[in-house]
Structure 1
Amino acid sequence: MHPTNTSKSYELTQAGDRYFDGLVDKFSRSLYQAPRGELRLAMLDYLLPQMLHLTGQPVLDVGGGLGQLSAWFAERGHSVTMAEPSEDMLAHARAWHTERSAAGAWPPEQLRYLAAPLQSLLQHAPGPWPLITCHAVLEWLGEPARAVQTLASLLAPGGQLSLMVFNRDALRFSNVIKGNLQKALSDQLEGKGKRQRLTPISPVTHDEMCQWGAANGLTMKDVAGIRIFQDYLRHPPAQENEQATLLALEKQYCRQDPHWRLGRYLLYTFTKPEADV
């Protein structure tokens, strides 16, 4: 079931998830054509090669959105299957990827697409997969813990899972800085998922990620914070040299305690133990 885009109202699916049909332009404008989106992509470009063992292995990109992460892996020689439930998002990603492929960024056969939600991937893309990416997805699901169980089931023994989640603790801190004291005190931080605002319906804590990973037999190998400073600046950097300095700061402290814990996003690498012989 896809949400409708009538009267600027957006409904959750029957599973309680938020899809993004009708919001491609807002996503592109708010998340990727703005400084915060540029910083997020720059930090992924910096961190993924450090946090993952990349050997050109096949990748399942779950909830691939506008296709940036799938393109990142395709450019580096990986065969990528991008799964995305929003038809609008998938169409945008296909068109952009086609342009990039035609320009020689990667062979067209390197990317394939699945119009499917995470919950159906055990049927549509069972794998097992040596590398799964699932970035900024869990916070838009009604049952994020169950999603981790599904992802663990899709992962091959010895495989790696790259998870990026919207940090509930950072959301609380941000609300305090903005003066939303009662909202922070009552801990009513979740978005409703019914309008264009992009406050996640299920922001996640680090403790939850630890618990969900362990419950599914996964080992947490690494964690980093993304946008650990940017969202709290009173005056975002306007000059190019200031932006470069901020990026250097983010890189320097993104894996240092306590700074990573207040990243707007938390980026994890989980691994699945090798099968017993």
Structure 2
Amino acid sequence: MDRNFNGLSNRFKNQIYGTLKGQMRLALLEKDLSPYIEQTHALNILDCGAGQGQFSSMLAQHGHSLVLNDVSDEMLAMAQANLAELAPDNQTHQMITAPLQSLNEELHTRALPTQYDLVLNHAVLEWLHEPFAAIEQLALWVKSDGILSLMFYNLHAIVWRNLMNGSWQRAQNTHFHHDKNNLMPQNPLNPADVVEKIESLGFSIELHRGIRCVHDHMFVEMRKRKTLEEFVELESDIGLKAPYRDLGRYVHIVARKI
């Protein structure tokens, strides 16, 4: 079953977005997408699984036109507040509360575009029952020569972490089940499978990075001695290099529709 985070929005804000690891994630996403979003003209952007709108708020500050979608109305209410605070002069955004599977119908109903210059899907696929079907739908929303940005929870990272923690049986378990109050994703993905899927849909990979390749594998006491800026500088480089990128807690792929 796909996850809806109504009732957990404050935990997301405090445990993910309000932490160094969450700030690092946003900084690396912005770095990766800066060649596309720092345009002289406004882009039409679909943020599918926008959550609390932290990344979309930055896009709105650049003057881009946005459609924010999430299955959680609580998350989108927080996104609306973030946009109002951080990009008060940009009134070109739309909010749609709907599961990804019914978003296309909602776009038609509201007479909104069904193809975009940039489609974002960050930290969503790992919560879906059928992530590869979702990738197929996301691909349809990208214009010809447009950009798809996928960030997802990395299967290799969770297997490696379980091995290092001595949870060897769990590391070999292909089924990740967690209770409804847990923020551990239920369906981490193999990056090679995602790349293969994207390429089969007529996209070329322009960037493939791991996020938190170093941070999550450091001793906690050593980690506390490093600043956000130091981590971002290191991860900006090492996260693009195999094999280190394959140990990132998340993987970010940027692909262009051919």
**1:89-168, aligned counterparts within 5 Å?**
89-102=75-88, 106-107=89-90, 109-125=91-107, 127-168=114-155
User: Superposition RMSD on alpha carbons, in Å?
Assistant: 1.7
Once the two structures are superposed, what CA deviation does each residue of 1:170-194 show, in whole Å capped at 9, x if it has no partner?
Answer: 1111111222111113344x233x3
TM-score normalised according to structure 2 size? 0.90
Give 1:54 deviation, angstroms: 4.8
Alpha carbons 1:60, 1:131 under 8 Å: kept: yes
Residues 92/185 of structure 1: CA separation in 2 closer, same or farther (3 Å cut): same
Q: In the aligned structure 2, how far is the partner of 1:181 from the partner of 1:203?
A: 17
What amino acid is aligned across from residue 33 of structure 1 in structure 2?
Answer: G
Q: Does 1:80 align with 2:61?
A: no
Aligned with 2:24 (options 39, 48, 57): 39
Residues 99/196 of structure 1: CA separation in 2 closer, same or farther (3 Å cut): same
Q: Does 1:179 align with 2:203?
A: no
Residues 142/187 of structure 1: CA separation in 2 closer, same or farther (3 Å cut): closer
Give 1:78 deviation, angstroms: 0.7
Q: In the aligned structure 1, how far is the partner of 2:210 from the partner of 2:237?
A: 11
Q: Does 1:64 align with 2:50?
A: yes
What amino acid is aligned across from residue 204 of structure 2 in structure 1?
Answer: T
- Identity, % of aligned positions: 31
Q: In the aligned structure 1, how far is the partner of 2:211 from the partner of 2:94?
A: 28
What amino acid is aligned across from residue 170 of structure 2 in structure 1?
Answer: K
Q: Does 1:268 align with 2:250?
A: no
Once the two structures are superposed, what CA deviation does each residue of 1:203-247 show, in whole Å capped at 9, x if it has no partner?
Answer: 1111211222133222222211111111111125334x5443333
SS at match of 1:266: strand
Give 1:88 deviation, angstroms: 0.8
**1:180-199, aligned counterparts within 5 Å?**
180-188=167-175, 190-192=176-178, 194-199=179-184
SS at match of 1:139: helix
Q: In the aligned structure 2, how far is the partner of 1:84 from the partner of 1:220?
A: 26
Name the counterpart of 1:204.
Answer: 189
What amino acid is aligned across from residue 163 of structure 1 in structure 2?
Answer: L
Alpha carbons 1:172, 1:187 under 8 Å: kept: no
Aligned with 2:5 (options 8, 20, 26): 20
Alpha carbons 1:222, 1:269 under 8 Å: kept: yes
What amino acid is aligned across from residue 159 of structure 1 in structure 2?
Answer: G
Q: In the aligned structure 1, how far is the partner of 2:37 from the partner of 2:92?
A: 20
Count of aligned positions: 250
TM-score normalised according to structure 1 size? 0.84
Alpha carbons 2:51, 2:75 under 8 Å: kept: yes
Give 1:42 deviation, angstroms: 1.8
Residues 242/271 of structure 1: CA separation in 2 closer, same or farther (3 Å cut): closer
Name the counterpart of 2:110.
Answer: none
Unaligned runs of 5+ in 1: 1-15
Q: In the aligned structure 1, how far is the partner of 2:75 from the partner of 2:37?
A: 28
Residues 181/92 of structure 1: CA separation in 2 closer, same or farther (3 Å cut): same
Q: In the aligned structure 2, how far is the partner of 1:78 from the partner of 1:17?
A: 29
Give 1:252 deviation, angstroms: 2.1
Q: In the aligned structure 2, how far is the partner of 1:133 from the partner of 1:145?
A: 15
